[in-house]
Amino acid sequence: MLDTSLMALMGTNDASKAWTARFDPAERVAIKVNTIRGSEFQTHVPLVLAVVERLQSIGLPADHIVIFDRSTDELLKAGYPVNRDGPGLRCYGTDSDYTPGWMMMDTEVRLSQVLLDCDALINIPILKQHGIAGISFAMKNHYGTFDKPGSFHGGRLARGMAELNALPPIRERTRLIIGDLLTISTRNWSTGVVGDSILMSLDPVAHDKVGLQKYSEVMTSEGLSPETAIHLSDGWLANGAELGLGTNDLESINLMEQLVG
């Protein structure tokens, strides 16, 4: 699934060329997952380890790759192979190691040192319902990358989420977004629908707009209304487009579906 998706995205029939077009073996690559406490569903470990395998296949040393989220404890509970400084693949949380120097709206924020230590970033969120944002996917996943997520909910979320993703360390390092649709959480992070796909993009706004569409389809199939999620998502998607992060216009999005047997 990973190779087929990336080859389509990069316009090549060579999987190795597709990966080397996005990543250099000399780089340090961070992989942001979602393992937030209180959810029954996290970014699937086998998917993330498959990405690690593909990076190693083009020459990245295992110790140049780090899987991270806000907390080592949450990663451990989600089944990730925690390893802060031993040999091989690294995996650990930010654990309050944040660096200051950025502004969102009228508030100074600090960013994860794990992010700042990397050259390239892969964002691998899982698609979930969210009571304030409508859905949590690629853009919302970075609420686990900075120190004040609680300050950017409510009325500040629509602008705050867009400004967070527009911060240079996030925007400039992001090389690839791989949306985890292997499970879609529809209600309260405790009810999930089994899926069979991933969603790959270079555009976080388009990625989440399509994710909202996929979420709406699942909700409808379950006899539930997606209207609240659509309404709550409209603001931050529009603001992301306004800040030049990508497009929220479905007619402008080239959605390619690749079947893998």
Band of pLDDT at residue 172, cut at 50, 70 and 90: very high
126: tokens are: 């899982």
Q: Angle CA(112)–CA(30)–CA(242) in degrees, nearest 5?
A: 70
Q: What is the pLDDT averaged over residues 136-163? A: 97
Contacts for 169 with CB less than 8 Å, ≥ 6 apart:
102, 111, 115, 116
Say if CB 212 and CB 233 are below 8 A apart: yes
Has residue 261 got a pLDDT over 90? no
Closest of 134, 229, 138 to residue 179, by C-alpha: 138
What pLDDT shows up at residue 194? 92
Please report the pLDDT score of residue 21 as a whole number. 97
- E strands within 85-212? 90-91, 98-104, 107-112, 120-123, 126-130, 134-136, 174-187, 191-201
Model confidence at 198: pLDDT above 80: yes
Kindly tell me if the per-residue pLDDT of 199 is higher than 90: yes
Residue among 134, 159, 164, 135 at smallest CA distance from 148:
164
Contact partners, residue 26, CB within 8 Å, separation at least 6: none
The pLDDT value recorded for residue 231 is 96
What's the angle, vertex CA 46, arms to CA 137 and CA 94, rounded to 5?
60
Per-residue pLDDT of 121-139, as tens digits, reads 999 999 999 999 999 999 9
| Residue 189 pLDDT class (50, 70, 90 cuts) | confident
User: Residue written as tokens 């470990």?
Assistant: 45
Tell me the per-residue pLDDT of 40-94, one tens digit each, with 9 for 90 and over.
Answer: 899 999 999 999 999 999 999 999 999 999 999 999 999 999 999 999 999 999 9
The closest of 110, 101, 103, 2 to 52, measured between CA atoms, is: 2
Task: Output the pLDDT for position 190.
Answer: 79
pLDDT averaged over the chain?
96
The residues facing 130 across adjacent strands are 134
Length of the chain: 261
**Percent of the chain at pLDDT exceeding 90:** 94
Distance between CA atoms of residues 85 and 172, nearest Å: 26
What is the band of 38 on the pLDDT scale with cuts at 50, 70, 90?
confident
